[in-house]
Chains A and B, each alone.
Chain A
Amino acid sequence: GENVEQHPSTLSVQEGDSAVIKCTYSDSASNYFPWYKQELGKRPQLIIDIRSNVGEKKDQRIAVTLNKTAKHFSLHITETQPEDSAVYFCAASRGEYSSASKIIFGSGTRLSIRP
């Protein structure tokens, strides 16, 4: 069945350094890849997404890359700050052009920023 694998499960970086989280997916028909950030005790929040027609997307200190051939995608956070500490979930779906397909989530990465 469909599966999304996410690595690492925990990540600790020095404040100001970069953090990278990697995911692979199994369904070659996937074409929509969102990333969510979940702070302690709160709901997951959509922070960025990428669709199959682009290879990279940036939003300030956050960037996502997609390699459809290798079926993997990554989240890059530069100049990390204490407020970046959270659990990050990657996800994949066929639903780029419809809501018909469910979103498959990775298992999450707990990111800690050391002061």
Chain B
Amino acid sequence: SQTIHQWPATLVQPVGSPLSLECTVEGTSNPNLYWYRQAAGRGLQLLFYSVGIGQISSEVPQNLSASRPQDRQFILSSKKLLLSDSGFYLCAWREGPPYEQYFGPGTRLTVT
């Protein structure tokens, strides 16, 4: 069965520091991968999605970037964090049929 991992689970970083969040999926091949951010008490904001290695689509212009160096690996990065980058970062994957989308356990980021 498929499993999605994210790390770290929690992170506290100062403003202006770099960021790297990793997501890996097991038990599947060539999935679509997604990065979402959820601010406290808010909805799901799609940040990036990828349909294959090296293919990244950005949904929101910001100081974040994403990369997909391997089929089942998706990385979210920033060179300099802002206070507004705080939130719950969720990776998700989708493939099939039946093309359902599942979320990883998430990384809770606090920028201080």
Instruction: Give Cα A102 to B34, complex, Å.
Output: 9
Q: Is the beta-carbon distance between A46 and B99 smaller than 8 angstroms? A: no
> With contacts A43-B104, A43-B106, A44-B90 known, is A99 near B99, CB below 8 A?
yes
Interface of A is mostly: loop
Q: Is the beta-carbon distance between B46 and A102 smaller than 8 angstroms? A: yes
The interface residues of chain A lying within 8 Å CB-to-CB of B42 are: 108
> With contacts A43-B104, A43-B106, A44-B103 known, is A99 near B43, CB below 8 A?
no
Q: Is the beta-carbon distance between B43 and A108 smaller than 8 angstroms? A: yes
A-contacting residues, B59-112, CB 8 Å: 90, 94-97, 99-106
Interface of B is mostly: loop
Instruction: Give Cα A43 to B101, complex, Å.
Output: 12
Interface size class of B (residues with CB under 8 A): 20 to 34
Task: Give the Cβ gap from B59 to chain A, nearest Cβ, in Å.
Answer: 8
The interface residues of chain B lying within 8 Å CB-to-CB of A70 are: none
User: Which one of B43, B97, B101 contacts A34 once the chains associate, using CB atoms below 8 Å?
Assistant: B101
The interface residues of chain B lying within 8 Å CB-to-CB of A100 are: 32, 51
Interface size class of A (residues with CB under 8 A): 20 to 34
Q: What 1/0 mask marks residues of chain A from 86 to 103 whose CB sits below 8 Å from any chain B CB? A: 000100000111111011
Tell me if B15 is interfacial: C-beta within 8 Å of chain A.
Answer: no
Instruction: Give Cα A98 to B101, complex, Å.
Output: 11
- B residues sitting closer than 8 Å to A (CB atoms) are 31-32, 34, 42-44, 46, 49, 51, 90, 94-97, 99-106
Closest 10 CB pairs of A and B: A43-B103, A99-B94, A99-B32, A107-B43, A105-B44, A99-B99, A108-B43, A95-B99, A44-B103, A43-B106
- A residues sitting closer than 8 Å to B (CB atoms) are 32, 34, 42-46, 49, 89, 95-100, 102-103, 105-108
Sample (30) of A-B pairs whose CB atoms are under 8 Å apart: A32-B99, A34-B100, A34-B101, A42-B106, A43-B90, A43-B104, A43-B105, A43-B106, A44-B44, A44-B90, A45-B103, A46-B100, A46-B101, A89-B43, A98-B99, A99-B31, A99-B32, A99-B94, A99-B95, A99-B99, A102-B34, A102-B46, A102-B49, A103-B101, A105-B43, A105-B44, A105-B46, A107-B43, A108-B42, A108-B43
